[in-house]
Amino acid sequence: MEPASDHPDFWNLRYDAGTTPWDSGGVPPALARFLQHTPLRGLRVLVPGCGFGYEVAAFAAAGADVVALDFSAPAVARARATVGPALADRIVPGDFFTHALPAAGFDLVYERTFLCALPVARWPEVAARTAALLRPGGRVAGFYFFAPKDDGPPHGLEPGEPDRLFGPAFALEHDAPVPPGESLPLFAGRERWQERRLRPL
Ligand SMILES: C[S@@+](CC[C@H](N)C(=O)[O-])C[C@H]1O[C@@H](n2cnc3c(N)ncnc32)[C@H](O)[C@@H]1O
């Protein structure tokens, strides 16, 4: 039986087979725009489930203190190759849910095809862990995939579902469709860029 998508073997098989339809091939344009207008120098950024890791170099170039996690060994190897030796130690092998990370230790958590990659039953844990890792006033920002629920992954969100998941502790500050031409075919017309802020205490 195939492992579930919250097990590293699910992803190891796909990286090893070169079956990676989520591979953006570079920094997605909506993130590039965010980086242009968001001062990140010195801010602590976490990239959970970083995959190929293109964004890690972009966050570092913006001056952020970035840490990326992935629990798939081939993903970690690819991300380290992507970012090169100077940033390789920023790519950490580890499980987002259990790896020792500082509570309230991050200013920004970046999301792309991490939530939708996990079984829907684990989504509340993703939101709770994100809240625990962000400092009050910190943000979670990135791409959210909206589609009817089917076999997945990717597992689609319903309209309003991210607000319910993240709950009243977070305020939605930005929400815009990703132009279809900027998305991979798998996600085209079904992605939104959203930013939520953990309300200050
Ligand atoms: C669909 S891929 C997306 C990769 C990357 N975010 C991107 O946009 O290309 C999902 C990634 O999340 C990783 N992943 C899934 N669950 C994880 C967990 N609990 N901790 C760390 N990484 C995880 C997988 O190994 C895989 O590399």
The answer to whether residue 12 sits within a structural domain is no
Whether 150 has a pLDDT exceeding 90, the answer reads no
The answer to whether residue 22 sits within a structural domain is no
The answer to whether residue 139 sits within a structural domain is yes
Question: If you take atom 14 of ligand 1, which residue's CA is the nearest one?
Answer: 49
Give the pair of three-digit tokens for residue 86.
């100077």
Which ligand 1 atom sits nearest the alpha carbon of residue 153? 1
Report whether residue 182 contacts ligand 1, using a CB cutoff of 6 Å: no
| Number of neighbours of residue 75 by Cβ within 10 angstroms | 25
Alpha carbon of 54 to ligand 1 centroid (Å): 13
pLDDT, average across residues 98-103: 98
CB-based contact 52:27 (threshold 8 Å): no
The answer to whether residue 45 sits within a structural domain is yes
CATH number (domain holding residue 71): 3.40.50.150
**Total structural domains in the chain?**
1
Distance, in Å, from the CA atom of 166 to the CA atom of 21, rounded to the nearest integer, reads 27
Question: How do residues 5-58 score in pLDDT, each as one tens digit?
Answer: 999 999 999 999 999 999 999 999 999 999 999 999 999 999 999 999 999 999
Mean pLDDT (the chain) is 97
Q: What pLDDT was estimated at residue 84?
A: 98
Report whether residue 31 contacts ligand 1, using a CB cutoff of 6 Å: no
The answer to whether residue 11 sits within a structural domain is no
Structural domain harbouring 135 = 29-198
Alpha carbon of 132 to ligand 1 centroid (Å): 19
The answer to whether residue 7 sits within a structural domain is no
The answer to whether residue 4 sits within a structural domain is no
Alpha carbon of 145 to ligand 1 centroid (Å): 15
Whether 198 has a pLDDT exceeding 80, the answer reads yes
pTM of the model: 0.98
